[in-house]
Amino acid sequence: MAYPSDNPLSGKAAFVGGASRNLGALISTALGTEGALVAVHYNSDSSRAKAEDVVARINGGPGEAFAVQADLTRPAEVERVFDTVVDRFGRLDYSVNTAGMVLKKPLADITEEEYDRMFAVNCKAAFFVMREAARRIEDGGRIVTVLTSLLAAYTGLYSAYAGSKAPVEHFTRALSKELFGRNVSVNNIAPGPMDTPFFYPAEDPDSIAYHKSSAMNGELTRIEDIVPWVRHLLTDGWWANGQTLFLNGGYTTR
* Enzyme catalytic residues: 161
Rg, the chain, Cα only: 17
Report DSSP letters for the chain, one per residue.
Answer: ---GGGS-STT-EEEEET-SSHHHHHHHHHHHHTT-EEEEEE-SGGGHHHHHHHHHHHHTTT-EEEEEE--TTSHHHHHHHHHHHHHHHS---EEEE---------GGG--HHHHHHHHIIIIIHHHHHHHHHHHHPPTT-EEEEE--GGGG---SS-HHHHHHHHHHHHHHHHHHHHTTTTT-EEEEEEE-SBSSTTTGGG--HHHHHHHHHTSGGG-PBPHHHHHHHHHHHHTTTTT--S-EEEESTTSS--
